[in-house]
Homo-oligomer: A and B are copies of this chain.
């Protein structure tokens, strides 16, 4: 079906959408078995890798907007995967920490996650994957919005 619509293949927004779906599909399937979403998984991994963080930094590192993150942190707290405490000196801020259960959830799925990454590298080609990542990062680094 899709090959009869050549235009959309040259549309960058749609190409990015399709590529993302291709990569995320298997990951989502894996996470669905454990009962966490792709976004919740990102938050947990950031916390596991970098330790206690405040919500603003979590949002930046996991590429989530603050309103989304607010809801996700509530969900993760309910699930017992994170804890939140007040910041010692700045009462506007919080400190979020992953719990042992959260770390366990990551440990239970990290191997499969790495297997999916390896499959991608092998199937798509390590050279092409690196080239793609380079281009995407360059694109993201483009200076400013085209408001001229």
Contacts and interface: CB of A to CB of B under 8 A. Distances in A.
A15 B136 contact: yes
Contact of A27 (B13, B21, B124, B129): B13
Interface in A1-42: 1-2, 5, 7-10, 12-27, 29, 38, 42
Interface residues of A, number: 54
Interface SS of chain A: helix
Interface of A: 1-2, 5, 7-10, 12-27, 29, 38, 42, 49, 57, 60-61, 63, 115-116, 119-120, 123-124, 128-129, 131-133, 135-140, 142-143, 145-148
Contacts of A132: 12, 132, 135-136, 139
Contacts of A17: 20, 63
Contacts of A16: 16, 19-20, 23, 136
A13 B18 contact: no
A145 to B, nearest CB: 5
A19 B140 contact: yes
A142 B128 contact: no
Contact of A137 (B9, B23, B146): B9
B9 A133 contact: yes
B124 A142 contact: yes
Contact of A135 (B60, B135, B148): B135
